[in-house]
Amino acid sequence: MYEGAIQDLIDELGRLPGVGPKSAQRIAFHILSADPTDVKRLAVALQRVKEQVRFCTTCFNVAEAEQCRICRDPRRHDDVLCVVEEPKDVVAVERTGEFRGRYHVLGGAINPLEGIGPDHLKIRELMARLADGSVKELILATDPNTEGEATATYLALLVKPMGLAVTRLASGLPVGGDLEYADEITLGRAFEGRRAI
Amino acid sequence: MAQAGTVTRSPAGPVGAGWHNRRVNGWRAKLYRDDAVVLRGQKLGESDRIITLFTRRHGRIRAVAKGVRRTTSKFGARLEPFGHVDVQVAEGRSLHSVSQVEAIDLYGKRFIDDYPRYTTASAIAETAERLTPIEEEPALRLFLLTLGALRVLAEGLHTSSLVLDSYLLRAMALAGWAPALEECAVCGTEGQHRAFSVPAGGCVCQDCRPPGAAHPSPATLQLMAALATGDWPVADSSEAGPRREAAGLVAAHLQWHLERGLRSLPLVDRSSPKTSPTRGADENQRSTDGDLA
């Protein structure tokens, strides 16, 4: 146990996800020996993130204004909406450079084991966005795991009566991998989703 | 990757046979193989998961599966919830780790396109977890019951809500909390009694009936008895009203004994007819290992 400020810093860092007591101690001593301007910059960044960052009122992505950068962008297509679980999924899709539509962040996936049902997600808000009829295609880009797939199934059933095209991201083989190393489920999905060339 | 290191499979062949040793991080880890139902996965760190497994011989265990959240993971797909897998586990000082997984039957992939079955499977998995409070304490009969319930649910032999209520009644019976349906829960007088009291432990006669006891219809009590004994022709032919009433009583009885509510139970979707019986009731009668029927 250390005294005073250093122990407080170790305790606070130790509360962060994925940071154990040893890592917390290492980071604390790194901060102690770091340049004061670097530390100040970190402190300001921490403060700013809590004070300025909020959720976009339209898509629930992280934003520094009432609407996020993507919702404000007039060049984005209004007729295609991509549904993702978390704001970090928006970043992952944006990195592809393939999608020019808009997003809707659910804030998670339906997971009864964790007590997360449809009412805990931004599904009601999604339905409200779809109600005006401007969206022609809904892309369900939830995670390719049991919870994500079940959430996509739930949403597909919910929006089916609205008559818009509902698509799901393809599952299959990672680029650069060898076929022999693919597990049977991924390979099976790749076969199901094969396309003519 | 979790497959690092040389792992020798049991020469004896069958699942769960034999122990092996492997050197992990400078100390000898015990390795064992068992078949298991994946109950749940929780995110850990950057790309790992803590997997809760209900194993045949080692009861409920929690083990780290390294790198399974990466798209390049070799066995992440096999550790998705509700799968029946053959797993190799390395014992650790605090948490075990999963070193190899083979799929036996991945029921989860049959639930993901059917929301009522997904929520039902979640309630089954949570119940199994809650009824095995002590880790590594074998619970073979509950394991077989859980496996059978997921199998029946995956095959779509019966309405998902009936499968769930049958599972809950039988799981409670294994835990020693079976509701009295053929006799008075207080005095033991045999016969069909009309009142049902959760605190008393089931049906109660007129003399023993405590204040606030429910008065379910005879059809509801008949359905509950059929679900508890696996009389599927009777259960499948039941009406919506008794099904609803029986589901309420079963849930109340379970949560009374568990003392803390199941998180998944209020989220179970009992509305959709998508999982209605697809085959004749007679050919549904199965007596295979662990089957609910």
SS3 of residue A168 by DSSP: strand
Give dist(CA A117, CA B266) in Å, integer. Answer: 9
> Across the interface, do A153 and B115 touch by the CB < 8 Å criterion?
yes
User: Nearest-CA distance from A72 to chain B in Å?
Assistant: 32
- Name the fold adopted by B4-106: OB fold (Dihydrolipoamide Acetyltransferase, E2P) (2.40.50)
Where does chain B hold its CATH 2.40.50.140 domain(s)? 4-106
- Asked if A146 lies within 8 A of B112 by C-beta distance, the reply is yes
* pLDDT at site B10: 40
Domains defined for chain A, CATH in brackets? 4-52 (1.10.8.420), 74-168 (3.40.1360.10)
φ/ψ bin of B136: left (φ > 0), alpha (ψ from -120 to 50), beta (otherwise)? left
Residue B233: its pLDDT value, please? 94
- DSSP H stretches of helix in chain A: 4-14, 21-33, 36-52, 69-72, 87-96, 123-130, 146-159, 184-192
CATH classification of B111-292, choosing from 1.10.3720.10, 1.20.1440.120, 1.10.10.60, 1.20.1600.10?
1.20.1440.120
Per-residue pLDDT tens for A46-61?
999 999 999 999 999 9
Compare all CA atoms of chain A with the CA of B118 and give the residue at the minimum distance.
Answer: A150
CB contact under 8 A, A112 and B268: yes
Which residue, among A87, A89, A81, A80, has the nearest Cα to A144 in the 3D structure?
A89
* Residue pLDDT, tens place only, A122-142: 999 999 999 988 999 999 999
Cβ atoms within 10 Å of A48's Cβ, excluding its own: 11
User: Going by C-beta distance under 8 Å and a sequence separation of 6 or more, which residues neighbour residue A115?
Assistant: B263, B264, B267
Amino acid, res. B129: E
- Comparing CA positions, the residue from B69, B30, B29, B32 lying closest to residue B49 is B69
Closest residue to B263, CB basis, from A112, A145, A184: A112
So what's the pLDDT on residue A157? 92
Q: How far is A30 from chain B (nearest CA, A)?
A: 21
Please, are residues B82 and B68 in contact by the beta-carbon 8 Å criterion?
no
AA letter at B154: A
Q: What is the pLDDT along chain B (293 residues), one digit of tens a residue?
A: 334 333 334 433 444 445 556 555 555 568 999 999 999 999 888 889 999 999 999 999 999 999 888 877 878 889 999 999 999 999 988 789 999 999 999 999 889 889 999 999 999 999 999 999 999 999 999 999 999 999 999 999 899 999 999 999 999 999 999 999 989 999 998 888 889 999 999 999 989 999 889 999 999 999 999 999 999 999 999 999 999 999 999 999 998 998 888 999 999 988 754 433 333 333 333 333 444 54
Check residue B212 and give its pLDDT. Answer: 87
- pLDDT for position B5: 38
Query: Would residue A71 be called left, alpha or beta, if left means φ above 0 and alpha means ψ between -120 and 50 degrees?
Result: alpha
- Record: contact A185-B111, CB cut-off 8 A: no
Residue by residue, pLDDT tens for chain A (197 residues) are: 788 899 999 999 999 988 889 999 999 999 999 999 999 999 999 999 999 999 999 999 999 999 999 999 999 999 999 999 999 999 999 999 999 999 999 999 999 999 999 999 999 999 999 998 899 999 999 999 999 999 999 999 999 899 899 999 988 887 777 888 788 888 888 888 888 88
**Any idea which residue has 């199998």 for tokens?**
B151
Determine the pLDDT at residue B38.
97
CA-based nearest residue in chain A for residue B128: A113
Q: Smallest Cα–Cα separation from B43: which of B59, B60, B65?
A: B65
Q: Outline which parts of chain B fall under CATH 1.20.1440.120.
A: 111-292
pLDDT of B9 reads 40
Measured in angstroms, the CA of A94 and the nearest CA of chain B are apart by 18
According to the model, what pLDDT value does residue A178 have?
81
Q: Is the ipTM of this complex over 0.90?
A: no
Residue B191 is predicted with a pLDDT of 85
Nearest to B65 by CA among A92, B56, B12, B85: B85
Cα distances from A141 to residues A155, B85, B95, B117, in angstroms, run 11, 27, 33, 22
